[in-house]
């Protein structure tokens, strides 16, 4: 069974600071996604990481993947209030039915950025 | 592109009622659609995966007779919660994928409240 563990689950930080969210997964996978969810809303796709050493950046967010360590990180640089949200990582597992691949989500990191 | 529409966005109904939720891919053909459930402040849990024209595959612990899924066309999947009870109250999110190794595109979610 694929397990995805995120930490921290809750993070309160000040604007301007840097921080990293970690995502560990238990079995081999070739794709990892990061999503953002605002309260009462659905998921917004942030990044997809496909290979070992992959790094992607968008604004103040940067995601990386180490498939050997089964670890992905989401780094926040000089945080601003607008980044307050819940962030999920999700890992692809192989669906035995032969269709598209199902996702296993981490528990999410609830991020609050205070002015 | 890759827009997924989910309807309705909010449902409040009495216990014992059956509720149908629609998930449509508006600008692409979705070989596979997924249904997730999210309880407050928790992660998304995959309920079932459906491929167009075939029976859905349900995750362990999800009652097939309770959550009826139909994927009759490449652009529409429906989830019917039969004889809903208060414990079925949750946020239901669908996603659609063009196929194997393709990303999932998420709908806006349906908030179901059973009184």
What DSSP line would sit under A10-48, residue for residue?
Answer: EEEEETT--EEEEEEESS--S-EEEEEE-TT--EEEEEE
In Å, how far is B45's CA from the nearest CA of chain A?
A: 7
pLDDT given for residue A99 in this prediction: 54
pLDDT in tens, chain A (115 residues): 789 999 999 999 999 999 999 999 998 887 899 999 999 899 999 999 988 889 999 999 999 999 999 999 999 999 999 999 999 999 987 654 555 678 899 999 999 999 8
Could A108 and B45 be called an inter-chain contact, meaning their C-beta atoms sit closer than 8 Å? no
Across residues B45-55, what is the average pLDDT?
A: 88
pLDDT at residue B80, as a whole number: 97
- 8 Å CB contact between A12 and A112: yes
Predicted confidence band of residue B55 (pLDDT cuts 50, 70, 90): confident
Kindly list the residues from chain B whose CB atom is less than 8 angstroms away from the CB atom of residue A7.
Answer: none
Residue B49 has pLDDT above 70, yes or no: yes
Mean pLDDT within B53-80: 91
Task: Give the integer Cα–Cα distance in Å for A50 and B83.
Answer: 42
CB contact under 8 A, A48 and B103: yes
């Amino acid at each position: 069974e694929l397990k995805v563990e995120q930490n921290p689950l809750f993070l309160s930080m000040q604007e301007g600071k840097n921080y990293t969210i970690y995502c560990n997964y238990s079995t081999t996978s070739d794709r990892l996604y990061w999503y953002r969810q605002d309260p009462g809303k659905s998921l917004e796709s942030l990044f997809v990481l496909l290979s070992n050493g992959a790094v992607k950046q968008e604004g103040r967010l940067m995601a990386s993947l180490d498939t050997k360590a089964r670890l992905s990180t989401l780094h926040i640089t000089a945080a601003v209030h607008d980044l307050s949200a819940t962030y999920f990582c999700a890992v692809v597992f192989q669906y035995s039915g032969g269709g598209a691949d199902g996702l296993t989500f981490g528990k999410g990191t609830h991020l609050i950025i205070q002015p | 592109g890759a827009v997924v529409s989910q309807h309705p966005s909010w449902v409040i109904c009495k216990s014992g009622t059956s509720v149908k939720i629609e998930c449509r891919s508006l600008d692409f053909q979705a070989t596979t659609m997924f249904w997730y459930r999210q309880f407050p402040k928790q992660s998304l849990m995959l309920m079932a995966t459906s491929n167009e024209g075939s029976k859905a595959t349900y995750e362990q612990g999800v009652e097939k007779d309770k959550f009826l899924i139909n994927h009759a066309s490449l652009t529409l999947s429906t989830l019917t919660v039969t004889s809903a009870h208060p414990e079925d109250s949750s946020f239901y999110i669908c996603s659609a994928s063009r196929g194997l190794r393709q990303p999932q595109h998420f709908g806006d979610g349906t908030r179901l409240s059973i009184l």
